[in-house]
Amino acid sequence: MEDKQYKSDSIFKKRIRKFKTIKRAYYSLIILIIAYAFSLSASLFVNSTALVVKYTNNIYDPGEDFVDLNNNKIWDLGEDHVDQAYYYYPLFKKLFKKSEYEASYFGQKYIKGKKRYGKPHYRLLKKEFNNANDGNFVIMPLYPYDPFEEVLSERDEEFTDINNNGIWDNDEPLIDENNNGIHDQYRPATAPDRYHIMGTDNQGRDVLTRIIYGFNISITFAIIVWALSYLLGIIVGATFGFFGGKLDLYGLRFVEMYASIPFLFTLMMLTSFIRPTIFVLAAMLVILSGWIGISYYIRGEFLREKSKDYVSAAIAMGQTNWNVMFKHILPNALTPIITNAPFAIMGYIGSLVSLDYLGFGLQPPTPSWGELINQAAGNLQNWHLVVFPLLIMAITLFLITLIGEGVRAAFDPKVHSRLR
């Protein structure tokens, strides 16, 4: 019964079933999907904005119960009141309502002796609440750092600046956390420690957060470029291969001349007056070179397939050219497209890292693997800026390679074909 079911299944289902039997490829795909899903939701787990804040402001707010000693039905200074606790959800307010609380909202007017404006510093707010032990608390995300913020200055030991000169003098009161008799300051880039698992970069930003967000950007960029390149390349290649004649002759000559344009030099000129975002850079890569290679593949497949009997039958039945091209020929020409896709995505990840490293890719402060490696190139003692980005990149490309090999084996026409 199972053999009959297997024989009646479509070729595509047989290929998917074959792919699942290649464990290293199948599990690599699952790992990569889980990692990418985590990176998409990284804002919930890797963020410097608090998940929950419980806060009582220790002042009377309208509506709170109080002991009316004067029987005047209003609260007077000195009368006891029940200070109601309120719960706030800053991260969800930031993500879904696109707004944030002010620092003064939680009584955070000064941070390390300086006036605090704008959004609260939730890690220091949590420390203040813990020290006060008054029932207020802050719940932070799993890894409470942001890829754009400088994180080291908050670890500097606090002191009372009597001379107002901005530096610690020996006679000024100091909270000597390390008991070494000096004012300890932390300056970028720092090696991995218990606070920052992968250290900090040259601007004092947490490396792990930038790698996680950089992973999301790299995969998203590669998928966008791959999808748009294949879409444009399929349309161009299918048109040339199906219609042939002068359209194919002159069109192919144009593509060959277009492919001779120096990609990097052109991109350098464009990025000199255009600030590329992820979508702008993806569009540049697609238009300049991404679609050319796949158009050759598709053209060859269409030239081979259009002479077969099923195409002649479709034309004889009155099918339009576009129906014949994309409903009949294209499904039979997808094998080289699908098998090449993982390796194309690998190439686009490498392209983004290379462009970011050279300074022609995504602009700072966008989290980027290439930008981290570029920082380390001028300061080789910061080994963690090279090792960790390259390690994560190598693991990612290795997983994609295993997926590509599995797809290539599963879609091998010698194993599954319409003649079997």
* Residues 259-313: tens digit of each pLDDT: 888 888 888 888 878 888 899 999 999 998 888 988 988 888 888 888 888 888 8
Contact (CB, 8 A) for 122 and 105: no
Please tell me the predicted confidence (pLDDT) of residue 181: 52
pLDDT at 205 over 50: yes
- Is the pLDDT at 18 greater than 70, yes or no? yes
Give the confidence band of 31 by pLDDT, cuts at 50, 70, 90: very high
Residue 76 has pLDDT above 60, yes or no: no
Q: Does 345 have pLDDT greater than 90?
A: yes
Quick one: what percent of the chain has pLDDT higher than 70? 79
pLDDT, position 282: 92
Give 176's pLDDT tier (boundaries 50, 70, 90).
very low
Confidence (pLDDT) at 68: 55
Looking at residue 138, its pLDDT comes to 93
Amino acid 42: pLDDT: 92
pTM for this entry: 0.82
Torsion of CA 37, 38, 41, 47, to 10 degrees: -160
Lookup: tokens for 373: 């490696």
pLDDT at 150: 85
Query: What pLDDT does 64 receive?
Result: 53
pLDDT for 112 beyond 80: no
Instruction: Give the mean pLDDT of the chain.
Output: 81
Mean pLDDT of 166-193: 59
417 band by pLDDT with thresholds 50, 70 and 90? very low
pLDDT at 178 over 80: no
pLDDT tens digit string along 369-412? 999 888 888 777 888 888 999 999 999 999 999 999 999 888 87
Domain architecture of the chain: domains with CATH: 49-140 (no CATH), 208-410 (1.10.3720.10)
Q: Roughly what angle, to the nearest 10 degrees, separates helices 23-40 and 384-410?
A: 130
For residue 174, pLDDT over 60 is answered with no
